[in-house]
Chains A and B, each alone.
Chain A
Amino acid sequence: GAGVSQSPRYKVAKRGQDVALRCDPISGHVSLFWYQQALGQGPEFLTYFQNEAQLDKSGLPSDRFFAERPEGSVSTLKIQRTQQEDSAVYLCASSLSNIEAFFGQGTRLTVV
C-alpha cells in the first residue's frame, strides 16, 4: 500500500489476555519503529528495527512486551498478560532516512 498500515485499528482485551498488533510498513523502508501514546501524551519510543534486526528495545516497558520483524517487512508487537496500564494507542512508523518517518494510524488498545 501507499502508507503504513496497522491492524486492528481498535482492540479491546480483557486483563490477562495476550494481544498481537500488526504493522505493515511502506515497501522498501528498512527502519521500523513502535511507539506507545497514552491518552493526552506524546508518543513514547518502544523499539526499533533495521530490516529484521531489533537494534533497540530500550523503550519496552516490561518483559511482557515483545516485538518481531522476521522477514524485515511486517512487524508484530505482542503484549502478554495485558494490564490496564497497557491501554494506549500503539503507533508504528517506517522510514528510509533520518529525516522523515511515516506513521500509521495506530491501534487503540483498551484493557478492561
Chain B
Amino acid sequence: AQKITQTQPGMFVQEKEAVTLDCTYDTSDQSYGLFWYKQPSSGEMIFLIYQGSYDEQNATEGRYSLNFQKARKSANLVISASQLGDSAMYFCAMREGLRTGANNLFFGTGTRLTVIP
C-alpha cells in the first residue's frame, strides 16, 4: 500500500483565491511527521510546513496551513491568496517512527498547481 496518496495530478486556481491540495497517508506508527514541499521548475524541493502526529493544533506558516485530520489520516495543504509564483509541483511526505530514529521521507506523486492570472 502507498504510504502517501495525492489524488490530484493537477489543480488550477485563480490568482488571489485559496486552494486545497489533498493528501492522505497510511501508517501504523503512533509517532510520525507530515510535510509539504514545493518543487518549482528549477528542481529544488522547498520545505513549506510540518505537522507532528501529536500536535493538536493545525500547523500554519504564513499563507500555508495544514488541515490535519488524524482519524481520517489526511493532511491537506491550504494555500491562501494564491500568487503566480505558487505555480509548481507540491509534494506531501511522511516520516515515520520519529522516536526510534528512522529518518527517511516517503513522498506522494505530487500535484501540479497552476495559478491563473
Contact = CB atoms under 8 A, between A and B. Distances in A.
A95 B49 CA distance: 15
Interface stretch (A12-20, A76-84, A97-105): A97-105
A108 B43 CA distance: 9
Nearest to B89: A42
Interface string B45-63: 1110010000000000000
The secondary-structure label for the interface of chain B is strand
Contacts of B103: 31, 33, 48, 56, 98
Contacts, number: 54
Query: Top 7 A-B pairs ranked by shortest CB distance?
Result: A42-B107, A103-B45, A45-B104, A105-B44, A106-B43, A105-B43, A43-B107
Interface residues of A, number: 25
Interface in A41-100: 41-45, 48, 56, 59, 89, 91, 93, 98-100
Nearest to B106: A45
Contacts of B95: 98
Interface of A: 31, 33, 35, 40-45, 48, 56, 59, 89, 91, 93, 98-106, 108
A79 to B, nearest CB: 19
B81 interface: no
Interface residues of B, number: 22
A101 B106 contact: no
A43 B37 CA distance: 11
B45 A99 contact: no
Given A93-B45, A108-B43, A42 B108 contact: yes
Given A98-B95, A100-B50, A105-B44, A48 B108 contact: no
